[in-house]
């Protein structure tokens, strides 16, 4: 393996993990578990009843959640997006439907109902209880369409 500024000399592959600040992080943790099936694997409360640091997992997806003590600005929905969000690739259209149904039952705001796109992807998009955007779909970014 050739070292580049962005490669790890140990040969370990790079992995992306997202982090989210929530105004009510304890409630968000439970909601993410209920809505999407995340499992909280590590949780450190803070001294104000919030979350100093929590880690959640869903198959190969891992995210970090903490309490928003800085009163961060959350983007607002404009049309079909807040401008950025989290995309989780799943294997089948049935899996997209399952995530959608579970999220809606938990109180997610629907942006896109599950549907196909002109490029062959099947996806849905919802906003969680604090407005973060979550898209579930069959697209595998970085792979040939024939691979998904």
One domain, residues 21 and 48 = yes
* Cα→Cα distances 100→28, 39, 136, Å: 17, 18, 8
DSSP string, 20-88: EEETTHHHHHHHHHHHH--EEEEEEE-TTSSEEEEEEEETTEEEEEEE--S-PPPPPPBTTB-S--EEE
Has residue 5 got a pLDDT over 50?
Answer: yes
Residue 22 neighbours by CB distance under 10 Å:
24
One domain, residues 5 and 39 = yes
Q: Do 19 and 64 meet the contact criterion of CB atoms below 8 Å apart?
A: yes
> What tokens does 106 get?
């938990």
CATH, residue 111: 3.10.180.10
DSSP state of 111: E
pLDDT grade, residue 39 (50/70/90)?
A: very high
Q: What's the pLDDT tens digit per position in 70-106?
A: 877 777 878 888 878 899 999 999 999 999 999 999 9
What pLDDT does residue 72 have? 76
Has residue 134 got a pLDDT over 70?
Answer: yes
One domain, residues 46 and 80 = no
What pLDDT does residue 6 have? 56
């Amino acid at each position: 393996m050739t070292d580049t500024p962005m490669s790890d000399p140990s040969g370990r592959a790079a992995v992306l993990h997202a982090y989210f600040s929530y105004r009510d992080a304890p409630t968000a943790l439970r909601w993410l578990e209920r809505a999407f099936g995340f499992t909280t694997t590590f949780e450190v409360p803070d001294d104000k009843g919030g979350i100093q640091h929590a880690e959640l997992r869903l198959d190969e997806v891992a995210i970090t959640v903490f309490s928003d003590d800085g009163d961060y600005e959350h983007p607002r929905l404009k049309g079909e997006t807040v401008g950025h969000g989290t995309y989780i690739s799943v294997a089948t259209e049935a899996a997209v439907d399952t995530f959608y149904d579970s999220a809606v039952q938990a109180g997610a705001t629907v942006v896109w109902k599950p549907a196909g796109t002109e490029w062959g992807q099947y996806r849905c998009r919802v906003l969680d209880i604090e407005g973060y955007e979550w898209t579930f779909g069959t697209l595998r970014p970085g792979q040939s369409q024939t691979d998904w």
